[in-house]
Amino acid sequence: MSTSTNDINSSPTKTKKPSDSAFKQQRLPAWQPILTAGTVLPTFFVIGIAFIPVGIGLLYFSDEVREITIDYTNCKSNNSARDGGTKCAEVIARNPVLACFCELNIELPTDFFGNVYMYYGLTNFYQNHRRYVKSRDDNQLLGELTSIVSSDCEPFAYAESNTSKIPVVPCGAIANSLFNDELSLFSLKNNASVPLLRTGIAWPSDKKIKFKNPHGNLTEVFKNYAKPKNWNKTIYELDPENDDNNGFQNEDLIVWMRTAALPTFRKLYRRIDHTKPGFRDGLAAGNYTLSVKYSFSVTAFEGTKRMILSTTSLLGGKNPFLGIAYIVVGCVCLVLGMALLVIHIKCSKSTNDLINVNLSTPYR
């Protein structure tokens, strides 16, 4: 069968021409701002006048926060007979299993009113490294324990035994490097230990959603798994005083597993229990003793360790940067506004000059 020429000519021809719509033909209505002195100058002045008071307010709230930082990286061992008064960092470098205890005297120059929090701070510790951040098994942290561990946890996924490989729980580099110094505070004024709370330091969303314990008795559940290489305790012994704060629900572990964005960071360690007598209003000015069970080594990466006591304000902790930034931006806007106003007054043409344009008007 042959096809006639008329049939070929009558078939519709394909075209790449877009449809005749407002969108495809670019006929949609649009608005373009015209930057004139009447719109730019008021904007600069409004931003400057608004930002400066906001910055002053932010600085005020930041200054209301009371904070003291104690660097205990090089504290000396209390056991002078055994360690010869050497630094605890050197003691645990020779024998990582050996516990080292040291004490430092602290003086609070002013009263710390309100809620007081204890933080630990590290420097030169890169929790933001890509392989470090990925080195975890989220299924484990949700309480789903199996004999197969995520490959992201390598080389901290299995512990070698005589017959087989035992899965590590919790696996990965983040959990293996858990901060394990034990800090306590003694008030010389009250002649009593400062009561510290181990709970309420983690994000509620983390504790309720991202970290869950497996069903059953934790001791029985976890006995078939190995603890991380650098841990001295098993995961069900992290808080011996509170069984509900053990396993994956341990808040020290949850806080540590939320990795920091910068190499110098602080993490919440304890809350002061303000229900106890002598500490209801906060921490009174005076002398305190910081006792440290020194276990976390920082000499390998040339870091430092700090203990921070701090109160909070409506905007959180002490951070003057935001207030300074607002004030600087406000001042810059005011200066630019004044400079542009002077230039506009001296150099701009009048309205009549702009309107009366003819063929003899010089083009500039």
Question: Which tens digits make up the pLDDT trace of 201-230?
Answer: 999 999 999 999 999 888 899 988 999 999
Among the residues of 65-192, which ranges form H helices? 80-83, 88-94, 130-134, 138-141, 173-176
Three-state DSSP state, 289: strand
Question: Which tens digits make up the pLDDT trace of 87-120?
Answer: 999 999 888 888 899 999 999 999 999 999 999 9
Q: Is the pTM of this model over 0.85?
A: no
Predicted local confidence at residue 304, as pLDDT: 96
Looking from the CA of 275 toward its CB, the CA atoms found within 13 Å total 3
Predicted local confidence at residue 344, as pLDDT: 86
Predicted local confidence at residue 350, as pLDDT: 60
Name residues of the chain where pLDDT drops below 50. 1, 8
**Long-range contacts of range 198-201, CB-CB < 8 Å, 24 or more positions apart?**
198/239, 198/241, 198/242, 198/245, 198/251, 198/252, 198/270, 199/242, 199/245, 199/251, 200/251, 200/271, 201/251, 201/252, 201/255, 201/268, 201/269, 201/270, 201/271
Annotated domain spans of the chain: 36-65+316-345, 68-311
